[in-house]
Amino acid sequence: MQIIITGGGGFLGQKLAKGLLNSTLTFDELLLVDQVMPVNPGQDSRVKCQQADLSNVGAAEALITPQTGLVYHLAAIVSSHAESDFDLGYLINLDVTRRLLEACRQTKAGIRFVFSSSLAVFGGQLPEVVTDSTAVTPQSSYGAQKAMGELLVNDYSRKGFVDGVVLRLPTICVRPGRPNKAASSFVSSIIREPLQGEEAICPVSTDLSLWLSSPETVIHNLVHAANIEASALGKWRTINLPGIHVTVQHMLDSLERQTDAETLSRVRFEPDEAINRIVSSWPGHIDNSRALQLGFQADQDFDSFISQFIINDLQKRV
């Protein structure tokens, strides 16, 4: 059995690869695909890396073979990028998703297709706590594209063409590396940069509510999605992954508590209306109950997000 991770060179793809290699899941091959040749995250002979631009005609189709048993479709154009490049966003976030689903359908029935969606599908007037029955009214092209992908995965699953699972990922914090074009990039930046002696820019108000997951928890949940029984999912394959509710102030307080005032002072406030508009349209609090019932896990508190980053990514002791 072969596992494919699209976006396998990215932060999440690389962590997921390690998570799968360390899991009890049995497979023969783990294929990491990305626009830039992915790094092999270990010494495991099961890992194959492949450079491919999935937007090229036939590229998505060529990926899926009768050996494929599980696809993690993580590749995406992130939120601010999809907002500035409308056509590219639709090409990657909608068309490539559809081509992958279609390739699965044409190859064999029942490939487990795990689609990473986002709380960016929500937007506008939201209830205090978003539930599984809250309408998606995205206020960004990224959110619209992810919402369309969700509908596709559900419809292909209902028809038996794939065995899909849609996971709406909370905003992930702390992402290692550099800022990117995600509107939520600051969420990691305001922790990550100060911890490394660098300045970070906070473009939003400190009372903004966020719905967060740590990388460890998201990886645990992505691996869990490989094992979950289709019958447990019922008629609707879309799951709001568990997160924790924090405000930006809450995050900054935690940073100061775990470091010092000097570290905190590296965060500068420069309001950015475009980012604020996108991020404040996302829910700050989602009902976790269905996801927890299905065996997905939640983080405990924000302090552990910071210590997890220090230990795993900065490789220091807390």
Residues designated catalytic: 142
Distance, in Å, from the CA atom of 251 to the CA atom of 260, rounded to the nearest integer, reads: 13
Q: 111-118 and 68-73: which strand pairing?
A: parallel
Residue type, 256: E
Is residue 139 near its own copies by the rule CB under 8 A?
A: yes
Q: In terms of CB distance, is 235 or 317 closer to its own copies?
A: 235
Q: In terms of CB distance, is 155 or 253 closer to its own copies?
A: 155
Is residue 158 near its own copies by the rule CB under 8 A?
A: yes
Q: In terms of CB distance, is 140 or 254 closer to its own copies?
A: 140
Segment contacting its own copies by CB under 8 A, of 71-79, 149-157, 172-180, 252-260:
149-157
Distance, in Å, from the CA atom of 185 to the CA atom of 103, rounded to the nearest integer, reads: 32
Q: Which sign does the torsion angle of CA 156, 159, 163, 168 carry?
A: positive
Is residue 93 near its own copies by the rule CB under 8 A?
A: no
Q: In terms of CB distance, is 109 or 311 closer to its own copies?
A: 109
The nearest distance, CB 169 to its own copies, in angstroms, is 18
Is residue 276 near its own copies by the rule CB under 8 A?
A: no
The nearest distance, CB 45 to its own copies, in angstroms, is 39
Helix (H, G, I), strand (E, B) or coil at 102: helix
Per-residue interface string for the shown chain with its own copies, residues 231-250, x marking contact by CB under 8 A: ----xx-x------------
Is residue 109 near its own copies by the rule CB under 8 A?
A: no
Residue type, 197: G
Q: In terms of CB distance, is 102 or 253 closer to its own copies?
A: 102
Distance, in Å, from the CA atom of 153 to the CA atom of 168, rounded to the nearest integer, reads: 13
Is residue 136 near its own copies by the rule CB under 8 A?
A: yes
Whether residue 277 contacts residue 143, with contact meaning beta carbons closer than 8 Å, is answered with no
Task: Determine which residue in the list 154, 209, 247, 280 makes contact with its own copies, applying CB under 8 A.
Answer: 154
Tokens of 34: 């990305």
The nearest distance, CB 145 to its own copies, in angstroms, is 8
Is residue 293 near its own copies by the rule CB under 8 A?
A: no
Is residue 141 near its own copies by the rule CB under 8 A?
A: yes
Q: In terms of CB distance, is 187 or 278 closer to its own copies?
A: 278
Per-residue interface string for the shown chain with its own copies, residues 206-235, x marking contact by CB under 8 A: -----------------------------x
Distance, in Å, from the CA atom of 206 to the CA atom of 95, rounded to the nearest integer, reads: 37
Distance, in Å, from the CA atom of 157 to the CA atom of 228, rounded to the nearest integer, reads: 14
Is residue 29 near its own copies by the rule CB under 8 A?
A: no
Distance, in Å, from the CA atom of 191 to the CA atom of 198, rounded to the nearest integer, reads: 10
Spell out the residues 6+ positions from residue 96 whose beta carbon is closer than 8 angstroms to its own.
6, 54, 55, 60, 75
Segment contacting its own copies by CB under 8 A, of 69-77, 129-137, 257-265, 287-295:
129-137
Distance, in Å, from the CA atom of 296 to the CA atom of 60, rounded to the nearest integer, reads: 29
Spell out the residues 6+ positions from residue 307 whose beta carbon is closer than 8 angstroms to its own.
258, 318
Distance, in Å, from the CA atom of 312 to the CA atom of 257, rounded to the nearest integer, reads: 20
Is residue 171 near its own copies by the rule CB under 8 A?
A: no
Q: Which sign does the torsion angle of CA 119, 125, 131, 134 carry?
A: negative
Residues of the shown chain interacting with its own copies in the complex, contacts defined by CB under 8 A = 86, 123-125, 127, 132-139, 141, 144, 147-148, 151-152, 154-155, 158-159, 235-236, 238
